[in-house]
Amino acid sequence: MTLVIGLGNPDLKYKNNRHNVGFMVIDNLVNDHNTTTINKSSFKGELFKSQNILFLKPNTYMNLSGDSVRSVCDYYKPEKIIVIHDDLDLPFGTLRFKIGGGNGGHNGLRSIDSHIGKEYYRVRIGIGKPTNKQDIANFVLSNFPKADQENLEKILEVSIKATKGLIKEELSTISSKYTQKENFNDKKEN
């Protein structure tokens, strides 16, 4: 069984935030698969199942994502875990993949690491960093600007394809096929 987790915050006010790209990918994956909803309060999240694939959106808020992940892992004991998340250290439009490593200051990853360890697959979606002195929390909890919507749709589309591939294929294959180095911000006219 494979567990695919999208990180984000559950309230509607966060729906289009940079921090919620993981939820955005999961929503699309759930729509693309014939899923059933699994309602169990101890999972502390929205859980969907399609054959041998579980899709999870933790409802614990970002900083406590590991609580939900641990509960689902304890129950289903997945062989493969994939976490989809925003990454401040990557420019907007960048897509990278890895297994394990540090959390880069990402509180959702920090929480998951503390509950299940670090050895899970990561789909890292670059959201860039604030250009002014705005603090990080305000940046990640703000919506993508309208000017970035078209490019956001493109990167989400590639992220969805890559995640589907990662469920079945090796990391090296997916990395070589789907890694995106495009920095859309560099292409904007001044």
CB atoms within 10 A of CB 99: 12
**What is the Cα–Cα distance from 133 to 86, expressed in whole angstroms?**
20
Q: Please tell me whether residue 128 adopts helix, strand or coil conformation.
A: coil
**What is the Cα–Cα distance from 78 to 71, expressed in whole angstroms?**
12
Sheet-wide strand order for 36-38:
36-38, 45-50, 53-58, 2-6, 80-87, 121-126, 95-99
**What is the Cα–Cα distance from 140 to 49, expressed in whole angstroms?**
29
**What is the Cα–Cα distance from 147 to 125, expressed in whole angstroms?**
18
Residue 146: φ, ψ to 5°: -55, -35
Q: Is 19 among the residues known to form the active site?
A: yes
Q: Which of 19, 33, 85, 115 is catalytic?
A: 19
Distances in Å between the Cα of 188 and the Cα atoms of 91, 132, 183, 184 are: 13, 17, 10, 7
Catalytic residues: 19
